[in-house]
Amino acid sequence: MQQLLRVQNFFVSADGYGAGEGQSLERPFGHADPTVLGEWAFATASWPGRRDGGGTRGLDDRLVGDFHHGIGAEIMGRNKFAPHRGPWTDGDGLDWRGWWGDDPPFRTPVLVLTHHPRPAFTLSDTTFHFADLAPAQALERARELADGKDVRLGGGASTVREFLDADLVDTLHVAVNPAVTLGGGSRLWTSPAELDHRYHRDVVPSPSGVVHHLLWRR
Amino acid sequence: MQQLLRVQNFFVSADGYGAGEGQSLERPFGHADPTVLGEWAFATASWPGRRDGGGTRGLDDRLVGDFHHGIGAEIMGRNKFAPHRGPWTDGDGLDWRGWWGDDPPFRTPVLVLTHHPRPAFTLSDTTFHFADLAPAQALERARELADGKDVRLGGGASTVREFLDADLVDTLHVAVNPAVTLGGGSRLWTSPAELDHRYHRDVVPSPSGVVHHLLWRR
C-alpha cells in the first residue's frame, strides 16, 4: 500500500510566502496576517476550528476537508510548532505545548523536527514527538507513526522546501491568495512553475478568489 | 451531529442527462456511453475500480475521492441497481446482485428503493437492502443504517429529482461533460441554474474538460 507524503491546505501569498518576517509569540506568522491569508478556508464548513455547523460547502470546502482524509501522521518544522529558537529551557519553551490549545486539530501523531529533541506529550487526540532527523529519516519515522496511512507535511515553507529538495513529496495542495503580497519571510516558491518539470499541476481558481494549485508527481 | 444527504460524482451530459434511453443488461446507461461521460473520473487515482496504483491526483481526483469520505450509507433507485422492471421473478431478476461484481464499490449499507422489496443480501463490505419508501422515510431509514455518518444519494437522475423535489438534498457534486449531448433519457436538469434559488453553486471547470458544479443549501 502506498503511503504518500502530502502537503495540504498550505496558504501562500501571491509572491509565494507562507509566513512573514519576525515570528513571535504574538505573531506566529510574523508580519503576515493569517486571518487574511486563510480567509477563504475559515469560511468553509470543514475548517477544523469551526463549531457552529455553518460554513460554505463548495470547492474550497472540499479541499479543506482533505486535511484529514487518509492522513495518519504529520511532519512539521519546529518553527511551526513554537516561536522559540535554540535549546528549550525551563523558563523559556519547555512548557510550550503548541499554538493550538488543549484540542489541537491534527488528531494523529505529529513529528516535530528540531535540533533540540524533548519528551513527547499528548493533548487530546494528538501526540507530539520531537526528533532531530534529516528529511528521509523523518519520513520513515512518520510512516511508522501513520500506521499505513498517508503523512501530511505541515510546513512551514522552509520545511516543505527541504522535503521538495530531497524529492520526497508526492502531492501538494497550495492555496495562493492573490490579494496578499508579503515581500519577505518564509518562502515556498518564486513561482509554482519552478516545480513543473517534476510535477503535474492543476491550477483551479475558486469563486472565493483564492487560486488552488494541485500538484502530483510526473 | 449533522447527517447530510449528499449527491457525489454524479455524471451528466451537457444537456443534463444522467443516462440515455433504453437501459438494458448490455447497456446500463441506455444509449449513453458511460466510458465517455465519466472519462474524467476513470483517469483519477481515487476511482474505486482502480487497482494499478496510478492515475491523476489533481482536482478531479479530489472530488472523486469524496465519494467515500464521511459516507455511511447510500440510497439508490431500483433502475440504478438493475435493468429489470416490475416484480422480480425466479427466472428474471431475483438472482440479480447488481452491476458491480463480487466487490461493489459502496462498502456501506445500500438502500434500494423499489415497489417490489426482496430480501437483503451482502457482497463483500456492501449490504443491499430493499424497501418501498417515500423519499423522507427512505432518508430516515438510510440515516439509521449510516450510523451517524452522511448518506449518499446515488441516483439515477429521476431518484435525485424526487429527493430534490422533496427538499431533502443538502449538497450536490454534479460533473457536466460538455463533450456529450444525449437528447433524451433520464434527466437531472435542463440547466443547473434551475436550482439557484435554493442552492449556492460553485462552477469549477477542470483542466480535464469536465465542469464541476458544487451545490449547497442557501
Residue of B170, B173, B202 with shortest CB distance to A207: B202
Q: State whether CATH 3.40.50.300 applies to domain B5-87+101-217.
A: no
**The predicted structure's pLDDT at residue B167:** 98
CA atoms of A9 and A62, how far apart (whole Å)? 11
A14 CB neighbour count, 10 Å cutoff = 13
State the pLDDT confidence band at A25, using cuts at 50, 70 and 90: confident
Indicate the average pLDDT of chain A: 95
Res. A35: pLDDT tops 90: no
Question: Would you kindly state where each structural domain of chain A is located, as residue ranges?
Answer: 5-217
Which positions 129-158 of B are in contact with A (Cβ < 8 Å)?
Answer: none
How far apart, in whole angstroms, are the C-alpha atoms of residue A198 and residue A189? 14
Residue burial B13-46, b: 16+ Cβ < 10 Å; e: rest: bebbbbbbeebeeebbbbebebeebbbbbebbbb
Query: pLDDT value at position A1?
Result: 65
Please tell me whether residue A150 adopts helix, strand or coil conformation. strand
CATH superfamily of domain region A5-217:
Dihydrofolate Reductase, subunit A (3.40.430.10)
Q: What is this structure's pTM?
A: 0.94
Q: Does A107 touch chain B (CB under 8 A)?
A: no
User: What confidence category does residue A50 fall into, taking pLDDT thresholds of 50, 70 and 90?
Assistant: confident
Q: How far, in whole angstroms, is CA B139 from its chain's centroid?
A: 15
Q: Is a pLDDT exceeding 80 seen at residue A92?
A: no
Least confident of A16-20, B171-175, B195-199: A16-20
A204 inside 8 A of chain B by CB: yes
Nearest residue on chain A to B201, alpha-carbon basis: A58
A2 — pLDDT class (breaks 50, 70, 90): confident
Place of cell 524529492: A167
Contact B111, B131 (CB under 8 A): yes
Q: Tell me the per-residue pLDDT of B116-138, one tens digit each, with 9 for 90 and over.
A: 999 999 999 999 999 999 999 99
Laid out side by side, the sheet with A199-205 consists of A121-123, A126-131, A109-113, A71-77, A150-153, A5-13, A171-177, A211-217, A199-205
Q: Scan residues 172-191 of A and list those with Cβ closer than 8 Å to B.
A: 173
Least Cα distance to B19 among B180, B193, B204 occurs for B180
Return d(Cα A35, Cα A46) in angstroms, integer.
16
Spell out which residues of chain A touch residue B2, defining contact as CB-CB under 8 Å.
Answer: 53
Pure H helices in B29-106: 34-37, 39-42, 59-65, 78-81
Whether the pLDDT of residue B181 is over 70: the answer is yes
